[in-house]
Every structure is written in C-alpha cells, then in structure tokens.
Amino acid sequence: MTIAATAPVRKIPVTVITGFLGAGKTTLLRNLLSQAHGRRIAVVVNEFGALGIDGETLRSCGIEGCPDEDIVELTNGCLCCTVADDFLPTMRALIDRPEPPEHIVIETSGLALPKPLLKAFGWPDIRTRMTVDGVITLVDTPAVAEGRFADDPEAIAAQQAQDPSLDHDNPLSEVFEDQLLSADLVVLNKTDLLSEDALEKVEAEITSLLPRKRVMLRAVEGKLDPAVLLGLDAGAEDDLAARPSHHDGADEHEHDDFESFALSVPEQASAEAFVKRLSDVAATFDVLRLKGFAAVRGKSLRLAVQGVGTRMRHAFDVSLTGADRTGRIVVIGQKGLDRAGIEAALQEG
C-alpha cells in the first residue's frame, strides 16, 4: 500500500517593522494596509506608553479590508520584555483562527530591541508555523542629521575626567543601533526634509553602523510598494548570529533608561497655539516623543498630534463623540522627566 506524503505546512510570514520613536512606523503601516488589495494581513501593534495611540490611529484609518479584529494591541510594555506573557499567546491566537492571516506585521515600540523578539520565533510551536520574512528598520533621517543618536566625545571625556570609573552608556544610540543591526531592509524616511548632501551623510553614517551590506531605500511618508516590503524571505529566526546586539549575553532587557506617562489636557482655544506649546514643552523638558489627541474650541473633529523632539505634526481626523472634550497626550523621554512641570505647562491655554 502506498502512503501519500503529507504536504508541508505553509509557514505564515511575519514582517517586523522597527525604528526609533517617531521614525514613521505607523504611517508606513497604514500605507501598506491601504494597498493590501484583499490580502489578509493581521497587525500586532506594540507601544511603550500607557495610552494606545498608534492602535487607535490604525483603527480609525477607514481602510477597506482592515477590520478591528485584525489589530491586536499590546500596551503593557515592549514585545522584547513581555514575549512570554503576551506575544506568544497573541501569535498562537492568530495562527489558530479558522481563517488564519496570510501575513502578519508587527509594529514594535520605538524603544524595542528587535533581537529578543526574533528569538521568540524559536519557540517550537511557533517556528513550525511562522517565519520572520524580514525586519524593516525605519530611520528618521532629520533626527540622525541633527545628531540625536550620536555620542558627544567631548562631553563623554569631560564626564570621565570627573569620574574615571564612569562606564559610558548612551541608551538612545544603543537602541537605535540595535534596531539597525537586526535589519534586513533599512528605510530612510522623511527624506524630503533634508538636502541631498545631508542625505548622503546620513546614508554614510548608517552604512558605517551596519554589520553587513543591507538594502537601503529612501522614502517620504513611508510610501513604498508592498512588493518591496513583503516577501524578503529572510528567515531571520535562523540568522540571529548575523544580527549582533549591544545586549547580547544579557539575561533580560529592561527599559530603565526611559519612562512614559499619559496626561490629560483641557479643550484648547487654538490648534496652532497648542502645537507651539507642545514644541516648547519638548524643548524645555528634553522630551523625546509627544503624541495624542486634543479637542479644539468650535471644532467637531479631534486634533491628532505627533511630535519627535520639537518637530510637530498635527491634523484634524475623526469626529469627537460625547460631551467629554478632554484630550490625552503621551510623553516619552529618558528617565527623570519633570512630570509635574510638563503637566503644568500642558494645562496652560
């Protein structure tokens, strides 16, 4: 008797989108979903912060074929910190659906280290049913050009002169570099904000950080053809040795260097004045990221705001419902933020 061979189970490809705070991950993801053309793509959104801004932004996108049940939002910490509690059950639930997704896209927190996430795909019941198609790292080119992630050699030397035992540690540069070191594709975003000379300098800097040659693409507003982003076939879970990390050998990864909190803000008299105040707050209190929503007097639509450092973007998006016109702003920065001072500043106006 001839026994028919069992066809191998098709692994669901998973794309990991990473990049520092404000690099444009959610915008790229929205563009990707708008061009899904009926393809079943499940989205896992992970945030560092108490308020799920990015998941809410995606839910309000109004994109056909992007139902809310395909957006699984994890808001209790980075994926790399909670894989045992949240990530694995989430992925199993997606796999076990009667109609599993054809592709899964994970948008990581801007403070996440990709490598611990990639390691999670080595779990036996995950690796037989999923594969990491590729890691896409978005780069905020103006932030790199401004030196946000660069060390200041003179400042470090001065600090070490005062304290020779000081072990230099730049958490911003470490997270930024770890995200690049795991990349299969590097997307230089917001290139319309820099000159050609500045872009070439950023490209040279990024190239110097990569452990091996990687495809590097330029983009504006994260607009790239899905055919470029999906189908990299990297099998990243089997290629970990080629993706070094500053945290290799560490038992676990903690985000002790950063903190986040959400604050309520009253209805605003003017959108422009509020955005200016947010920029001033970022400059005064050295805030890395501001994002959230506010109501503006006389407006039926809410004001969505996104800030990277002092650079702010805003737009009126969806209708406000109910009588409560209190807004919410997430504040993210390095440990030691003056919460009381920031809260007081945001209550003005």
Here the tokens at position 298 are 């006389």
What is the Cα–Cα distance from 316 to 334, expressed in whole angstroms? 29
Average pLDDT over residues 217-240: 91
pLDDT tier at 310 (50, 70, 90 boundaries)?
confident
Decide: 149 and 143 in contact? Cβ < 8 Å: yes
DSSP state of 268: B
Beta-strand pair 289-294/311-319: unpaired
pLDDT band at 163 (very low <50, low <70, confident <90, very high): very low
From edge to edge, which strands make up the β-sheet containing 103-107?
Answer: 71-74, 41-46, 103-107, 12-19, 130-140, 185-189, 215-218
**Amino acid at position 254, single letter:** E
Ramachandran assignment for 249, one of left (phi > 0), alpha (psi -120 to 50 degrees), beta (any other): left
Residue 193 φ then ψ, to 5°: -95, 0
- Residue 297, C-beta contacts closer than 8 angstroms, at least 6 positions apart: 267, 268, 269, 270
pLDDT of 155 over the 80 cut: no
Looking at the chain, the whole-number percentage of residues with pLDDT higher than 70 is 77
**Calpha distance 91→112 (Å, rounded):** 18
Report the share of the chain in percent with pLDDT over 90. Answer: 31
With beta carbons less than 8 A apart as the criterion, state whether 226 and 177 touch. no
Phi/psi at 124 (5° precision): -50, -45
Half-sphere exposure of 198 (CA within 13 A, CB side): 15
Q: Please give the structure tokens belonging to residue 96.
A: 């076990």
Across 268-296, average pLDDT? 91
Closest to 67 measured CA to CA, from 87, 47, 88, 97: 97
Confidence bin at 321 (pLDDT 50/70/90): confident
**Helix (H) or strand (E) segment spanning residue 198:** helix 196-209
Helix (H, G, I), strand (E, B) or coil at 226: helix
User: Packing angle between helix 171-181 and helix 196-209, nearest 10 degrees?
Assistant: 80
Q: What is the pLDDT of residues 253-270, one digit of tens each?
A: 555 677 888 899 999 999
What confidence score (pLDDT) does residue 140 get?
92
Report the 10 Å Cβ neighbour count for 187: 26
Beta strands in the chain, from DSSP E residues, in sequence order: 12-19, 41-46, 71-74, 103-107, 130-140, 185-189, 215-218, 258-265, 289-294, 301-308, 311-319, 327-334
Asked if residue 81 has pLDDT above 70, the reply is: no
Please check the confidence at residue 193 and state whether its pLDDT lies above 70: yes
pTM: 0.75
